[in-house]
A and B are shown apart, each in its own frame.
Chain A
Amino acid sequence: MPILRRILTRLLVGIGVLWGAATLTFLAVHLIPGDTALLILGGPDARPTAETLAQVRSDYLLDQPFIVQYGSYLGNLLQGDLGQSYRLRLPVTDAIGQQIGATAALAAAAVAVALPLTLAVAVLSAQRANWIRSIVSGVEVVLAATPTFIIGFALLIVFSFSLRWFPIGGNQGMAALVLPALTLGLAIFGTLSQVLRNELEDVLEQPFILTARSRGMRDLPVRMRHALRHAAIPVMTMSGFVVAALLGGSVIVETLFSRQGIGSLTLASVYNKDLPVIIGIVLLSAAVYVVVNLVIDLLYTLIDPKVVTA
């Protein structure tokens, strides 16, 4: 059962990664200078009483040595308890749970923009005339290199401010999802499409393609059936980049489009130094990576059986 063993190993590694992420974040947060209790009580515009300050210190174990705090944190973590958000006065799991749906919808919509676009553009533009490739890759580079904020802002100016086709922001309905998904999807497409086209062009040089063509197979089926399958594997290794782009991009996109979600929560938590939530989001991101890598790993074996024996 090599597949099962692989999955099990991967899972163990994943748990190690999560533990490492939790520990590192906890340590990093602990090393940030400053009094956490004062932060919890609202920074400069606060006049908390001495009793309140003492209560906060004992509530959050801030009067305990590091090892006690870490131990308690890890113990709670094992029970699925990520602690309490300082700012929202809610369990971190609730704070994140409230927001995860909106970001998942945004991410799914962005992927729904990026993947078909990548496939269509890369497959159709590989090995075409130089001027076509120049135009297409020029557009891709611009999309990949332009900060997400600028792309989103440009879309807003054209389609919301001027044409008024879409709302300027918010989470209301599908219309409000279009521009954010485009903003995030286009940036991902810009990168993936370049990689996929390069791979396709390499594959299309291979002898077996020539063989297929000489058997009278038409151009598009050759590209779709033969070339794509081989070119897809290196592109799949980019999944980590896609996840990073989705998570990182959601911070910008959700802020720009006034959307709810993990991105907005991240920004608000960092801005307010809401440490338990920050750690929770780091863990969530790490977990997403672990799961995505596991899934990609399994997909490899489906697409390319050679991988298993490798």
Chain B
Amino acid sequence: MNASVIPPARNRRQARRLTALSAVALVALVSGCAGPASSTSEATGEPVSGGVLDVSISAEPGCLDGHGISATQQQFLGRLIYDNVVTLDENGDIAPYLAESWDISEDGRTYTFHLKEGVTFSDGSPWNAEVLGQNFEHMRDPATKSPLAAAYIAPYVDGTVIDEYTFEAHLEYPYTPFLYTLAQSWLGMNSGKAIAEAPETLCQQPIGTGPFTVADYQPGQSISYTKREGYDWAPEWLEGDGEAYLDGVEVTLVSEPVIRHQSLVSGQYDLTENLAPQNAAAVQANPDFTYENLPRTGSPYVLSFNLSRAPFDDLAVRQAFAAAVDTAAVTESLGFGTYTPIDGFLSKESKYYDPTVEGTLTHDPERANQLLDDAGWSGRDGEGFRTKDGRRLVVEVPTVESSTPSPLLVQLQGEARKVGFDLRIIQLPQAQLSELRYAGDYDALAGVWHTNTTDVLFIRYHSSEITGERIGQNSSYVDDPALDELLLAARESDDGPEAEEAYSKAQHRLLEIVPGLPLYENPSQFAYAKTVHDVAVDTSHPVPVLTYAWKAE
């Protein structure tokens, strides 16, 4: 905002010069900014109880009920207040949590959960089979407006309360990802009492069984958590018992990346859940901080091609585009060296990742040109773009409007131009973008999909996930019977060699289809002061888990 009456011209020129000068001075000051001069080197020993951990987060979901949102921040926030039916242990395997054990029927359609006894919600109400049923209903109740959880339990038909601590869930078809999705932060367990009495309050005052409870929530500003007295049912992989060590966690929204970085190094916050890549080097070089850069499982960043229309309905054009782009160089500059380039359609951390996919999609401009020549895009127009039958080789990529165009798309534009693609970045308001997306009115879209199950390949590339009657995430419009069969077989078979083989074949099949251009791993980048100890990391979502974290004063 510029608040000024129009000053005389002489003054105006002077003002502009000074503003420019002050901007230069600012940059100089910022880059020369030193960190705190303190250093902590106490030996990590016995955990200390007490204290409040100050955390800054980059965005705030506006609602804290995991069932009602799809926000990324829920991965971290949900772990503070919720427990889940099951968890993924340090090896990424399903392990007990609020369910001590479970049986899966021969046909894979009935799951019998044997629940942990003596667990209570922070409102005093008990955890039992009836409450598990209530949670399934709450997830899929249209009034919850669930953008994510409901879809994850879509095969759930109904359930039976066998006795107080035994619940039988009936699925429409065998669905091995079921347990994995139940371990995700968005599917934490809400109080049955609250669901029954006041479901509309769960967004602002969620009630879980977790290690902390929400004491105060100021939307758009902060969430104060206090330790849950009597908590004693953490999952085994956390290697801790009883209540949290911290008295509380104070989470504050700090949306500006530079301020998040500065306020961390100045000691105003102990931890930030999202450190911008441009600040990574400074924090890594700082002996007072721990920096983590962990890839998220699921689908990495991919520029998805729309296979349902020209030009990407032609495999040669897709292969050419993929060969034209130097993803290593693009990734390096985008992530300031913190992003990991990838050349397959599944994150390397995902279960059943097949390393033999690597090296297939390579940067090879010569091959790209050859492919395009052979595919008939051999003409050139006045601006040097390729043409075929008088039409230019245009690729329209819509993206959400912002003050500066997406650096990723700008770089891809430059790379693709070298072999004669005219990549056009179309900036649109979010509402229009969603509509284009669901109407399939685009040539390519950049995006990512994080989930803790390899079923992500089904979600992204199975033909039943093409948006039609309902909204799907197959934005490439891949409709390949061979791939469909593999993905269906994989999700229906138990964890083991059979699933492994199907997923491996599916990953290779995707390299033959080339539904998009894989770019880089979807990273979770966080940092915290060395005074904070025992910050655990979850294998469902690589985000900080603070259940048994503690602060050395």
Residues of A at under 8 Å CB distance from B?
32-36, 38-56, 85, 87-90, 95, 98-99, 102, 137-138, 141-142, 144-148, 150, 153-154, 156-157, 160-162, 164, 167-171, 187-188, 190-191, 194-195, 241, 244-245, 248-249, 251-252, 255-256, 258-261, 264-265, 268, 272-273
Contact = CB atoms under 8 A, between A and B. Distances in A.
Interface in B117-149: 140, 142-148
Contact of A169 (B11, B29, B254): B254
Interface stretch (B157-165, B215-223, B331-339, B530-538): B215-223
Interface residues of B, number: 74
Contact of A49 (B68, B151, B252): B151
A188 B221 contact: no
A202 to B, nearest CB: 15
A35 B256 contact: no
Given A145-B7, A258-B256, A35 B435 contact: yes
Given A47-B70, A85-B62, A144-B7, 16 more contacts: A35-B431, A39-B430, A43-B434, A45-B70, A46-B147, A48-B146, A98-B219, A146-B15, A146-B18, A194-B5, A194-B7, A245-B1, A258-B221, A258-B259, A261-B220, A268-B220
Contact of A55 (B11, B56, B143): B143
A167 to B, nearest CB: 6
A50 B3 contact: no
Contact of B218 (A39, A98, A164): A98
Contacts of B147: 41-42, 45-48, 52
Nearest to B146: A52
A161 B262 contact: yes
A260 B7 contact: no
Question: A interface, by DSSP: helix, strand, loop or mixed?
Answer: helix
Contacts of A50: 469-470
B204 interface: yes
Contacts of B154: 49
Contact of B434 (A39, A102, A142, A241): A39
B44 interface: no
B281 interface: no
A28 to B, nearest CB: 12
Contact of B70 (A42, A144, A146, A251): A42
B434 A88 contact: no
B116 interface: no
Interface string B1-30: 111110100011011101100110010011
Interface in B251-277: 252-256, 259, 262-263, 266, 268
Nearest to A252: B1
Given A87-B63, A145-B12, A268-B220, A161 B256 contact: no
Contacts of A171: 218, 221-222
B268 A168 contact: yes
Most buried by B among A41, A53, A188: A41
B1 A258 contact: no
A268 B58 CA distance: 12
29 contacts: A34-B432, A35-B438, A39-B434, A42-B148, A47-B151, A48-B145, A49-B151, A52-B147, A56-B145, A88-B203, A141-B4, A141-B7, A141-B11, A142-B19, A144-B7, A148-B3, A150-B23, A169-B259, A170-B222, A171-B218, A171-B222, A187-B1, A188-B3, A195-B5, A241-B3, A245-B1, A256-B256, A258-B254, A265-B219
Contact of B3 (A48, A52, A249): A249
B259 A89 contact: no
Contacts of A168: 259, 262-263, 266, 268
